[in-house]
Structure formats: structure tokens, C-alpha cells
Structure 1
Amino acid sequence: MKNKLLKINNLKASVEGKEILKGLNLEIGKGEIHVIMGPNGAGKSTLANTLMGHPKYSIIDGEMVFEGDIINDLKVDARARKGIFLSFQYPEEVPGITVENFLRTAKGTVAGKVQNIIQFRKALKEKMKLLKMDESYAQRYLNLGFSGGEKKKNEILQMAVLEPKLAILDETDSGLDVDAVRIVAEGVSKLVNEENSILIITHHNRILDYLKPDYVHVLMDGRIVKTGDMSLAREIEESGYDAIRAELDK
């Protein structure tokens, strides 16, 4: 593995008193794309929210180590400042706040300094051009009246502007048509480099056809039970999770 970015040791986490993660282990190195797949209720979104520090999710045991520091007790904003980003599966509409103002405020908060309006606007236009987004997006209210594809592209734009070290994409491809999946995937692929990593949570292979992940993990019953490459995702697409369950039951 390359320089280690994240290490999760025996993570157990609950939501509303119910244990969902039951001893999960995962390591992510810099410059890597990891994929988490698994049936409904396996704990995929719980993992994403626990990594980001959502207050609804409680850690029972284990630890999450990010760049050598245990982050179990860090607040959401502190994790964001350390370079962790979570894209939402269902982005909220925020009337009255433009995309540009939202992103400039977010960038200033993460960077720890107020962003110069002119310099930020120039940088934002460059990111939008990279993602093939019309500049008019910047002046629209955040996600208001956006299509599903536009909302997801806006999440990738946030990722591009904030430049996180670890980007967690929670079912970014859900509900998108083929063209939108391709555009989102191409946007993500342009943002991957040797100093950051991507953790993709998905039910589908469509986005993986464009991103070429380094590792594919299967999450079942709160644990990662199998790890492989893209061939594992193909196996799941063809046979579902029954074969993996059968292996575990032996």
C-alpha cells in the first residue's frame, strides 16, 4: 500500500441504539480509489456518516486513524478542516444562497481564511470548466430546482473547490441516467491525484466503468468480508451476493 491516509481498526458503530458496524477494518493509501459495495442495510452509509462524524452515529469500539491521528472524537468541522469530504446521497436545496457564496464560505472555513472574491471567482470558473459546467450554475441558489444530475455534479464541484485529502462519495451515482453517470465519473477522475483518495459507496457498476478502482470491498452485516479488484464488482453484478454469503457460511 502507498502512504497510508486512513486506517479503520475494528470499528463498531450504532445508530439509534442499534449496532450497525460490527468490527469493520479498512486501510486506504494516498492516490487510491476504493469502492464499498454491499446489500441494503449492510452498513455502507453508516460507515460514511461515522467517518464524517454525524452526531446521530455513535462509536461503540475501535478507532479511525487519519494521517496518524485518531479522529473518533473530532467534530464534523474539524474533520473537514483535516481534509475529509462527504458528498450527500440526497443534496438539500438551500434557497437564498448561491452556489458561489456557499462554496466561497465553505472554502474559507476549511482553509481557515477568508477567500478573496475576485480570486475565488476565477478559481471557481476554472473548476467549472474542468467539470464542463456552465458558469451560470454559480449564481443559482444551491440545488434549488436542480435536476438529479445537476445536484450530483454540484457535489463534485464542491469536492473540486475544497480539494479534500479523502473524498467519500455516498451513492453519488444513484438515480442518474447513463450520461449523467459518465459526466460525474469523468469529473471525479480528473480530481484524483497521488495525494488524495476516493472512497466510493455504490450499488452499481456503471460509475466504476469510468473510474477503474484499485480495490473493491464487500460490506455485509457490518463487516468487510471480501476484498478484490474490478473483477469482484463484475462477479457481484452477475451473481449478486448469494455466492459470497455461501462462502461465509462454509
Structure 2
Amino acid sequence: MSAAAPDIHPSAVVEAGARLAPGVRVGAFCHIGDEVEVGEGTTFGPHCSVKGPTRIGSDNAFHGHCAIGGDPQDKKFSGERAELEIGDRNTFREFVTVNRGTGSGGGITRIGHDNWLLAYTHVAHDCVVGSHCVFSNNATLAGHVTVGDHVILSGFAGIHQFCRIGDHAFIGMGAFVNGDVPPFLMVAQDGYGRPRGINSEGLKRRGFDSGRIGAIKRAYRAVYMSGASLDDARVKLAELAGESDDVRALLAFIESGERPLLR
């Protein structure tokens, strides 16, 4: 038996250049543009719009009024080809907006797999988002932001352009982040967001044992609580990295950054 053909509501508009896999469902008053490719089992609630070039994987769920693949909100954008790529099994709740890339920023925005983007969240041009992340309501990424895996952005969190958020980081409600956040950290609102320990509860839920968490805590103390300069903290991290893959990952993150470290 062949797979079910796409189910398209009579009021929806699907341009001739769009490619919809079997099992895709398009709700009322949606618009699916040219050069949009959608994988099997993905669904669109009412009033969604998708502009290409955009590639969307399988089993994603777009709730009502999502605006996906729109032109980047960048004055330098002049209509050059720019793309959006979305993986599998992501959930996009009401009024989520995700923009395509820019020619000067790499040309593509990417979102991985198994993410939850809750209502009114925004992913700007040229961002790269990993997998298994949760963006709570109204969380916002400016352009060129990189987000690792298993990251949580609480409601109304805002990330400045070109910042990086490392794996397993937790950004608290309303925190505004204007520097790189290393893996495993918690950031809380204090004017601009400031580090407030490591995300130990989240790490426990993901199977990190006490030894791994202890090593990460020692690394955090070296960078954020010792009073040492960042150069001296790097030396201490290099010593601690000999016993921990996680500390090595944290040190590599710090050493590869172009923006100031959030401290």
C-alpha cells in the first residue's frame, strides 16, 4: 500500500515549486511557497506560512500562525539566495518566527532535531540551534547566535547577536545574554544575565553522575568564583581537563570564542 498523499485544506495555497512528502498535513489558510521541501508526517496548523528556500524534515509540528523561512530582518539583506534548514520531530507553537540566513552571514539558518519552540519565540537569521532544546515563550535569538544541544531558554530570555550558548546551559527567565555562555552553566537575570552556578539538576536528568558533575563544579569555581583572571582560569582549567572530558569541552568552548565570555 502506498503512503498517504499530502492532506491539504481547500483554503490553503501550496505553490507549484513546493515539494510535500507523503503524510504531510497543511491546515486552513496556510501558504507554502516555492522551494519549500517538507518531510513525511509534518503538520501545519491554520494560518502558517513557509517561504523558501526552506528544507523541513519529518514529523515536525507547526501550530497556528507560525511564520517560517521569512526574509532576514537585516538591512544589509538585498534579496540574495538565503536558506533555512529544519531537522526532524521539532514542535513550533503558536506565532513562532524563524528567518532564513543572509549572504554575508553564511547563507543559512539551521535548527536540529527534537526541539520545542514555544509560543512567540524567534530565531533570527544565520542562527544555528542544536537538538533537544526548549525555548520557552517569547525567548528570542538575535542574528548569528549559536545554541548547543539540551539548552533551555526560559520565558522572555534574549540572546545578543553573535553569542554562543554551550551544551546543557540553562538561561533563566528574562535574562539578557550579551556574552558567550559556556556549557553546563545557569544564567539568571541581574540587569544583564549573569552566571549563577551550573545546571546540575538538568545534568542529573540527562544521566550525568556525581563524578562528572563534581568536575564541572570545580571548573566553574575556577572560572567564576576564584577571583582569577581569565588567563589564569584557563591555566587551572587545563589542569582540571586531564581528568574530565566535560572540562575539556568547556575549555575548548572558551578558547574558541570571538565574543567576550559572560562572567
TM-score for both structures, normalised by structure 1: 0.26
Q: Radius of gyration: which is bigger?
A: 2
Relative contact order, CA 8 A, sep 6+: which one is greater?
Answer: 1
Q: Give the TM-score normalised by the residue count of structure 2.
A: 0.26
Higher helix fraction: Structure 1 or Structure 2? 1
